[in-house]
Structure 1
Amino acid sequence: MLKFENVTKTFDRNFKAVDSVSFEIEEGELLVIIGPSGSGKSTTMKMINKVIPHTSGKISINGKDINSYNVSDLRRNIGYVIQQIGLFPHYTIEKNIAIVPQLKGWTKQETKARVYELLEMVGLDPEIYAGRYPKELSGGQQQRIGIARALSANPDIILMDEPFSALDPITRGQLQEELITLHQKLKKTIVFVTHDMDEALKMGDRIAIMKDGHLLQIDTPEKLLHEPAHGFVEEFIGRHRIIQNPGLMPVTDILSESIVTSLPTLSPERGITLIRKSKTTNLIIADEDKKLLGIVSAYDLIKKLDDIKTVSEIMTKAEPYLFDSATAKDAIVMMDHTSMGMIPVVDRNHKIIGLVTRGSLLSAMSSQWTEMEDDQYE
C-alpha cells in the first residue's frame, strides 16, 4: 500500500539525512521505525505526508506517486500524531477534533457524530470532555485527543512521531495498549516512530531499524530478536534481549485465572463472605458481561459494613490495569503504582480474564532468570 523506492533526502551541504531507502508497508500494518538520534527515522516518516519533501526516489500510496497529489489533500487524508500533540488551546476538544472533517466539507451533524464516536473510542465521555479546553486535560487525555483528531476523517494511513515519549510510564503503557487495541479493531496502516526499543518490540507488526540515514533491517520483532542482520542491530536491540528477555514475557503467561468477581449490586455481608471463602483481600467488581468496573478491598468493606447497601458504594476504579497484549515489563512498571498488590488483566473488550500479583510476577521472573543462567552454563 505504501512504498518507498530508493528514496533520498538531502539537506544543505549535501548531507543525506535519508540515503536510498526502499521498503513497503502492507495495508493495515503497524510499522515501527526506530534508531538513534540523527538516524533519519522522523525524516523518513515526515516524507510520507510531505512535511519534509524527498529529494529523489519515489514514494507511492496504492501505486500513486505522492508528488501527483495536492499537498493539502494528501495531508487531510493522512492522520498525524506528534509528541507535542499540537492542540489549539483556544478551541474546545470538539472543535480540535472537528478541524479536518470541516475542511473536507462534512456537515455539522456528521462532524459532531464523528467527534462523539471518537471520544468514546479513546475512552473519554463526550458529554464531559467535548466542551472542555486542552488546558483542562491531563497529558494522557490530551494525547488521546491527538489520536482522535488523527482518526477524525477516517484516513487509511496514520503517522505517529514519538507520541508517548513525554508521558509518565503508567499513562504511556496504557496508551500503548489502547493503541494496539484500536489498531486491531480499525486495521489502519500506522507508521510509528520511537527511540524506545521496548515500545517498538511491544507494538510493531514489523520494525525498521535505521542508522545514519540507512535502513539496516526491517523484520518482525521475533526475527529481529533471533536473527539480527547487522552488528549495530544486535547492539541497538541489546544482547540481553536477543538471548532472552524475561521482561518480554506475555502477561498472559503470568496471570492467575482464579479470580473472585461480583456484581456491583452485591450486599456488603455477602461480599465479606465471598472474600473469606476465597481467602483473598480484594473483590473484583464486574458487570454481567464480565466487563471490569472496579475493585473493593476487604479492609474498606469491613470498615463500611454498616454504612452501605451495595459494594458499588465503596468501589474504586480498577487502575492501573493491563490488556492481555501486555508484557511482564509492563506489569513490573505498573506494580509500583498500585496499593492493592495486584493488577487486573482484561481483553480488548475490557472483560476481566485474570490478575497479576506481586507474587506471581516475582515467581515467573525468577523462574525465567534461573532458566537463563542454566542455559548459560550448559
Structure 2
Amino acid sequence: MTSPPLLEVQDLTVLRDNSSPLFSNLSFTLSEGEVLVLRGVSGSGKSTLLKCIAELNLYDKGTIKLGGKQSREWDIPDWRIRVGYVPQRPSLLPGTPLEFLSTIRDLSARKRKLGEDAQEGGEVVDSLDLAQDWGVDKVLWKRDWGTLSGGEAQRIALAVAVGIGGAEVLLLDEPTSALDAESSEKVEKSLLGMLPPLRGSSQNTKNNNNVQRKGTGPKALIWITHSAEQADRVGTRSLDLSQH
C-alpha cells in the first residue's frame, strides 16, 4: 500500500474581495525531502497560499492534508505546530526573543508534539545555537524585539521556528530577504541539511548530503523567494502561481 504524500493541497481556491479568483483549483503534493519554491508576480497569492496551508487564512474551496489527514480533522493548534509558517517580517512582539521562545515552548500542544519527537529519538536543535551559527550573537536574545535590525529579527524568528521543533513542513516567506549573501548561504545550508534525503531520487543533491536527519527539524519546505539564483540553489521543484 502506497503511503500518502507528506502534504497534499487539492483544488484550493481563494477569492479576492471583488469575488474574482486570486488563484483557483490549485493542487499539488509535497514529499519528504522536497523544497517547493513558489514563484509568481507580486500579488499572485504566494503569501496567501502559505497562510492558507497554515490555516491562518480562510479559503473558499479545497482541502489540505498532512499525512493523509485533512487539516480540519486536526486540532488547529496541533496543525499549526506541524505545519509552521514563518513570515517575511516578524510582527513586533512585546518583550525579548528569549521570553517569546520560553512562552511558546510552554504551549500544551507543543509539549505533546515534542514528547512524540523525543520518543522517536530526535536530537533537539537549540534555537540560540542555530542563530549563532547564522551570525546572531546570543546577547541579542535578551534585547527587545524593537531594538533588533531586520536581519537579526528575521534570523532569530527562523531559528525559533526550527529550534522549537514539531514542524513537519515549514512554510518560509522570503526567509532571507533582509540578509546579505553570506548570511543567506549559511541559512540555506542549515535548512537543507536538516531535511531527509528526497525519496525515490538519486538526482537530488541539494539536501541529500546527510545520510540521517539531524535533530527534530522539518521534513520538507515550501519557500518563497524572488531570487532566481536562490530558487535554483534550494529548490527541488517550483510552482508558478501566476499560472493559476
User: Under a length normalisation based on structure 2, what TM-score does the superposition of the two structures give?
Assistant: 0.72
CA distance, structure 1, for counterparts of residue 137 and residue 151 of structure 2: 16
Matches within 5 A, 1:1-378: 1-86=6-91, 88=93, 90-104=94-108, 106=111, 117-123=126-132, 128-151=139-162, 152-183=164-195, 184=207, 185=214, 186-211=217-242, 214=244
Which one-letter code corresponds to 2:85 in the other structure? Y
What's the CA shift string for 1:269-323, capped at 9, x where partnerless?
xxxxxxxxxxxxxxxxxxxxxxxxxxxxxxxxxxxxxxxxxxxxxxxxxxxxxxx
* Contact 1:120/1:126 (<8 A) preserved: no
Question: Which is greater in Rg?
Answer: 1
- CA shift for structure 1 position 45: 1.7
Structure 1 residues not aligned, in runs of 5+: 215-378
- CA shift for structure 1 position 94: 1.6
What's the CA shift string for 1:22-51, capped at 9, x where partnerless?
110002322111111122222222111122
Which one-letter code corresponds to 2:55 in the other structure? K
Which one-letter code corresponds to 2:131 in the other structure? V
* Contact 2:85/2:171 (<8 A) preserved: yes
CA distance, structure 2, for counterparts of residue 192 and residue 6 of structure 1: 20
CA distance, structure 2, for counterparts of residue 20 and residue 35 of structure 1: 16
Does the residue aligned with 1:47 lie in a helix, a strand or coil? Answer: helix
- CA shift for structure 1 position 169: 3.8
CA distance, structure 2, for counterparts of residue 149 and residue 17 of structure 1: 31
Which one-letter code corresponds to 1:144 in the other structure? R
More RCO (CA 8 Å, sep 6+)? 2
- CA shift for structure 1 position 84: 0.9
Does the residue aligned with 1:180 lie in a helix, a strand or coil? Answer: helix
Does the residue aligned with 2:59 lie in a helix, a strand or coil? Answer: coil
Give the superposed CA RMSD: 2.9
Change (3 A) 1:7 1:120: same
What's the CA shift string for 1:76-112, capped at 9, x where partnerless?
3332211112252x322222223322122649xx9xx
- CA shift for structure 1 position 168: 3.5
The equivalent of 1:234 in structure 2 is none
CA distance, structure 1, for counterparts of residue 28 and residue 21 of structure 2: 18
* Contact 2:174/2:224 (<8 A) preserved: yes
More helix by share: 1
CA distance, structure 2, for counterparts of residue 187 and residue 137 of structure 1: 26
Q: Could you tell me the percent identity over the aligned residues?
A: 30
User: Under a length normalisation based on structure 1, what TM-score does the superposition of the two structures give?
Assistant: 0.49
Which one-letter code corresponds to 1:96 in the other structure? F
Does the residue aligned with 1:202 lie in a helix, a strand or coil? Answer: helix
- CA shift for structure 1 position 2: 0.5
Does the residue aligned with 1:154 lie in a helix, a strand or coil? Answer: coil
Does the residue aligned with 1:12 lie in a helix, a strand or coil? Answer: coil
Q: How many residues align?
A: 207
Structure 2 residues not aligned, in runs of 5+: 1-5, 116-122, 196-206, 208-213
* Contact 2:225/2:231 (<8 A) preserved: yes
